[in-house]
Structure 1
Amino acid sequence: MSTIGYESWAVDLKDVGAIYPFQGSEGIMVFLGLVFWIGWHVLQMRQEEAEIEAELKAENREEAARKLIDDY
């Protein structure tokens, strides 16, 4: 059973044509994948940096509160 009309693949593939979708766009797909991958890491680093900053500020507030309590 063949979905593209070929009963046998024992032919010259240059005569068959495209045997998978988006043939010829591999370079574009690799480029888009790299852009997405690098962009993901940049966004992730920014979010983690903001989270760490928030945790440091909270820790500094706790230390200031402890100092005020100790001074009292």
Structure 2
Amino acid sequence: MSTIGYESWAVDMADVGPIYPLQGWEFPMVVIGVLFWIGWHRIQFVREHKHLEQAKQRALDHERIEQSVERY
């Protein structure tokens, strides 16, 4: 079974060209990889922004600050 269309390897290898499977898929796979990378960064940005906003709200909660100061 050959994925590149050759039945016999008894040929001049200089004339063969690429010998790996899925030849010709480099560009589509790079595009998919870049889109995945950008999407992952976008998801992380949104999640971290939400987390930091919640932390900011907790830090600026004046009632909690007053309660913690009154304890001591």
**TM-score, normalising length: structure 1:** 0.67
1:13-24 alignment runs, 5 A limit: 13-14=14-15, 16=16, 19-24=19-24
**Gap change, CA 1:33 and 1:22, over 3 Å in 2:** same
Point out which structure has higher relative CO (alpha carbons under 8 A, 6+ apart).
Answer: 2
Q: Residue 26 of structure 2 aligns to which amino acid in structure 1?
A: E
Q: Which runs of 4+ in 1 moved over 4 A?
A: none
Aligned: 1:6 with 2:9: yes
Kindly state the Cα deviation for residue 21 of structure 1 after the two structures are TM-superposed: 1.1
Name the Cα RMSD after superposition: 2.6
- How many residue pairs match? The answer is 63
Kindly state the Cα deviation for residue 40 of structure 1 after the two structures are TM-superposed: 0.5
Q: Percent identity?
A: 32
Kindly state the Cα deviation for residue 6 of structure 1 after the two structures are TM-superposed: 2.9
Higher helix residue share: 1
Could you tell me which runs of 5 or more consecutive residues in structure 2 were left unpaired when the two chains were aligned. Answer: 1-6
Per-residue Cα deviation, 1:2-36 (whole angstroms, up to 9, x for no partner): xx8536xx71444x475111100101001001000
Per-residue Cα deviation, 1:23-66 (whole angstroms, up to 9, x for no partner): 001010010010000001000000000000111111122x3333
